[in-house]
């Protein structure tokens, strides 16, 4: 049995994604936010945590990137993806009633703007920490409707009055399994290597210097995002995903090259890439 933490409460897309990769004997513990889930790994409360890192429509999950780049080092051990589909739900006794207030997570609201503008233009949108939190709050009568997953509707016995309301069909979220540093999985030939590259101070050509190290080794980058370090203006780091495993000679050589030009390199893990069916 493995003890997993995840972005809760029960009924989130994260829980649905986690159930794809766990067994019935594993223990799944919800946490209020990404920081709490990752801190649970650091404290030893759980062995692993699953958190969202990227959405095909809304882009990166900034809190996950920032948490991985700072604090006690954690490594990504695996990843999985989940198609994201939203539904508008109400309490069974309120089917057909007027909807004045709709609760959901900001990312979900952003992906359902056309539906909301067309069907409920006068409704007040209330922000919640997650879509599942919106569903849970609906049970307590905090608002009239919630936008969440069908998984959440089942969890909280809610009625879906509209399904597949997202503006973009085929939206997908990528999640990562995070654990304390340990033995790396062996190269599979279809891997991803993640790292945080800290430059001393922003300067002309900084990003080009980083990209050149990978280009010189013919290593493809699948993801790159700049984030402020939080120290002061002008201090940034880059979160980078490279195709390949750190044990692959080309990836290893590129990272060694980065060490010569960056103030710090934080290795975040080498792990098998998720398949499209995950």
Using 50, 70 and 90 to split pLDDT, how confident is the model at 277?
very low
pLDDT band at 202; cut points 50, 70, 90? low
In the chain, where do the E strands start and end?
A: 3-7, 27-31, 48-55, 59-60, 75-83, 87-90, 101-104, 124-127, 145-148, 159-163, 172-179, 191-198, 221-228, 236-243, 264-272
Helix axes 34-43, 62-69, angle to 10 degrees: 30
pLDDT-based confidence at residue 203 (cuts at 50, 70, 90): low
Q: Where are the domains of the chain?
A: 1-85+171-182, 87-163, 184-278
Q: Which CATH superfamily is domain 184-278 in?
A: ACT domain (3.30.70.260)
Q: Which residues contact 69 (CB under 8 A, 6 or more apart)?
A: 196, 227, 237, 239, 266
| Residue bearing tokens 């980083």 | 210
Chain-wide mean pLDDT for the chain? 92
Q: Which pLDDT score, from 0 to 100, does residue 57 have?
A: 80
pTM beyond 0.85: the answer is yes
**Residues 36-48: tens digit of each pLDDT:** 999 999 999 999 9
Other Cβ atoms less than 10 A from the Cβ of 70: the count is: 14
Return the pLDDT at 199: 81
CATH superfamily of 87-163: Periplasmic binding protein-like II (3.40.190.10)
Cα angle 70, 71, 77 (rounded to 5 degrees) comes to 80
Confidence of residue 256 (pLDDT cuts 50, 70, 90): very high
Give the number of other CB atoms < 10 A from CB of residue 72.
11
What is the model's pLDDT at position 201? 64
Q: Which CATH number fits domain 1-85+171-182: 1.10.287.70, 3.40.50.2000, 3.40.190.10, 3.40.50.720?
A: 3.40.190.10
pLDDT at 170: 84
Question: What's the rounded mean pLDDT across residues 195-211?
Answer: 81
1-85+171-182 matches 87-163 in fold = yes
């Amino acid at each position: 049995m493995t003890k997993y933490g995840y972005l809760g409460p029960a009924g989130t897309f994260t829980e649905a994604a986690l159930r794809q990769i766990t067994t019935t004997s594993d223990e799944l513990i919800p946490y209020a936010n990404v920081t709490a889930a990752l801190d649970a790994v650091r404290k030893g409360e759980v062995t692993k945590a699953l958190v969202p890192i990227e959405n095909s429509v809304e882009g990166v999950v900034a809190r996950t990137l920032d948490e991985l780049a700072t604090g006690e080092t954690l490594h990504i051990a695996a990843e999985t993806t989940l198609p994201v589909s939203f539904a508008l739900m109400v309490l069974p006794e309120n089917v057909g009633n007027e909807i004045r207030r709709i609760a959901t997570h900001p990312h979900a609201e952003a992906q359902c703007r056309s539906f909301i503008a067309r069907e409920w233009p006068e409704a007040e949108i209330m922000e919640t920490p997650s879509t599942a939190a919106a569903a849970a709050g609906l049970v307590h009568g905090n608002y009239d409707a919630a936008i969440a997953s069908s998984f959440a509707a089942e969890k909280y016995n809610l009625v879906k009055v509209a399904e597949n309301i997202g503006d973009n069909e085929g939206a997908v979220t990528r999640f990562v399994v995070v654990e304390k540093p340990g033995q790396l999985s062996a190269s599979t030939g279809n891997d991803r290597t993640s790292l945080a590259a800290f430059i001393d101070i922003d300067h002309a050509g900084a990003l080009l210097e980083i990209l050149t190290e990978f280009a010189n080794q013919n290593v493809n980058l699948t993801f790159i995002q700049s984030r402020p370090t939080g120290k002061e203006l002008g201090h940034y780091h880059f979160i980078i995903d490279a195709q390949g495993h750190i044990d692959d000679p080309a990836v290893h050589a590129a990272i060694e090259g980065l060490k010569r030009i960056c103030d710090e390199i934080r290795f975040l893990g080498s792990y098998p890439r998720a398949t499209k069916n995950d």
